[in-house]
Chains A and B, each alone.
Chain A
């Protein structure tokens, strides 16, 4: 389904219900033969996105000759034909009568068992790096634009020319790592494919134009893959000069359009000047600018660089944390074609492994209502992000959980004022047993932190793999969602002498349970008021959002919380114990 977007996804592994918006194309794909008669008569010209604005297209166009599906598309915002008096030319020109100005978006629903996310990347926009003059000098282009210029199907039919005067350049410079490997500007990571892309471009130039001199300015050349070193050598043998150092500035000669580069050659420390006719900025990859849409629809997580986060960096490199969802290609991290293809096949193997069985077992972490305890207040219905609970408050019938729809966040169980909801595998009794075991001795020395499975607990794991050190008196209790943390757990901890309690969960955009984390925040805010009223300093209950990618932040938060703990006096703790003495009911399992 081309020209379509995911509108909504509900359900879980095995049966996701997907709604797709098929955008109005105004051209009947089945009938269109891509003859181009419409294009010939269309009076509107617009920059061609496929050619990155290096040439123009009409309002009715085919994105590129080999496009799949092989059919035209009409950009209704540019089209004059909306109003037939104004235009309507293409309608007349089309023998097949496949143009329809009244075409509308269509919503299509279907069900799938697994989902593979291959949304790819965007490329870095070098406008911000003013020293390279990308917006000021016409002969400074990006590697993406270079691809179109050297392409026989491109706007110059494959002739490499200067954009200022259409003549062939005598010297071309490539600047590497544009937008990559720089903490302060652009992105800190290496974009993986741009070194080899430049090596390739140099070979292409030398094939067509052996006389063009090429200089490549680089930090280091990363030619790590199979056959890569060989290509790198070939480009050197063909005469490409590699200079270690990134130019600090480019100046243009306004008369000739020639470009002057100043660079510190880091091999010998000398400052050099190079005069060239054309500069190609080797731009890196960035996460899709619209990644948050898919992230929200599929409750995915992203690593600190903004690309999608895999379930485990070594052992589950193509699985998402959400069961039944997988990644392939640059959606997960910048990579080349071979790696994208490899990952796609791996993702399919993982999806196939689930689908071929015909059935899948889901973790038995769901909630159930004890009808005898339920007072039909309906509070749980409101907090469930999956609308898995129904309760007829008028008829005073006890609430009912649809187990297949419950995802197991535990928000309902924490919300129920009457203890009527049992969260399987994370029952009150189980969690209270952990609290009691932890605080039985020397409670005043310890930091109790609740951490959700998907984000903050994983952030703690990442702190571990990275060896980010933090105070040793921190102890975590894992729940699936921070929304499971019941007010009574916190009060129990304080009653047992805890100097400080931390509740930590996902950032709002990362919440694995759609928006259950909202209830975490509300609950903690209410609890702050309640503590204050009881004469207990609200600061002793901390709330922090830590993502699975924030190992460093996890350690920092733990240090900060420990600093707060040191300020809690023995007198305070004693006072709290007395005030809360009545919450220490015996543990029920």
Chain B
């Protein structure tokens, strides 16, 4: 009997909770929509704020993408970190070919090519104009050369150096040479660029935050008497805060979407000239736009910035308004 009653009671309770959740959700939805309505009703000022946010976020995003593309280009560039193995003069072509096959099987190496010394000599004679002088030497002075391309995951200066030492110590190898400086410079430059983008992104995020704080502050000022009246009739701070927080969310969200659109447009504009350039270099490189994760991070981050900005503004200015 008691149990029965308790069960009934708890059923009633959960029904009530469900109803409360329902009204709670409905209320939030309503506030979100009404602050969206406010946004739409003042299109000029809303769009200005959104545009500033969008541009401020598009800038570091665009640079980040550019950097990623450059890094990819660096990684896929033939000869980025190739190692040239100059074999001993007395090494035969067959021995060289054997070594090349052996190296091809080594992990950490993607590509091996053998430059036949006779072929190289002919080419040199043809291109250099020293044909007669070389003729006079009688014997081919060029060594067999093997060009080794490390796998891209070993494409750091340290890994390349380790591989170089290993190759240098092989008996057939007279000299192993790596254009390490180039690799190092490339890494140093991309590292600086990456840090610059990070600093820029932080500064511009701060700018976005301040823009939202200021926009919401102005909105609070404009709605001063409304806030006063709502406080008079018993509106809690949470109730008064809500529409401003949603306004911040909308600014951030639309700003983020705008940034995405701007970045995509910029990449679209760069696409055909980059294709042409890549064509000139016989490269299959294509400019890639933001991937799904980047887009989510971009829009999510910007929405969070909007929320944070409005939170700051509301925290600082709402309690200053008390009904008289």
A and B: interacting chains? no
Which residues of B line the A interface, CB within 8 A? none
Which residues of A line the B interface, CB within 8 A? none
